[in-house]
Amino acid sequence: MMDKKLLSLLVCPLCKGNLDYNKEQNELICKFDGVAYAIDDEIPVMMADKARPLTTEEKLAK
């Protein structure tokens, strides 16, 4: 589980925007850039070249 205080401090490395936590997939989502950052062993992997592109369905989801 992602620490809420840490989550409130993290921003997208590309746009510096807010991130949403996807608990089911254990990822941090940037809707603006359309990418998901993995969380490995409770450590966010905040490297743009490691980010996963969101699917069209994920981009449209609330």
The token pair at 1 is 């589980």
pLDDT tens digit sequence for 8-28: 899 999 999 999 999 999 999
CA 62 – CA 46 distance, rounded (Å):
22
Q: Name the percent of the chain lying above pLDDT 70.
A: 95
14 and 33 in contact (C-beta within 8 Å)?
yes
User: What's this model's pTM, rounded to 2 decimal places?
Assistant: 0.88
CATH topology of domain 4-60: N-terminal domain of TfIIb (2.20.25)
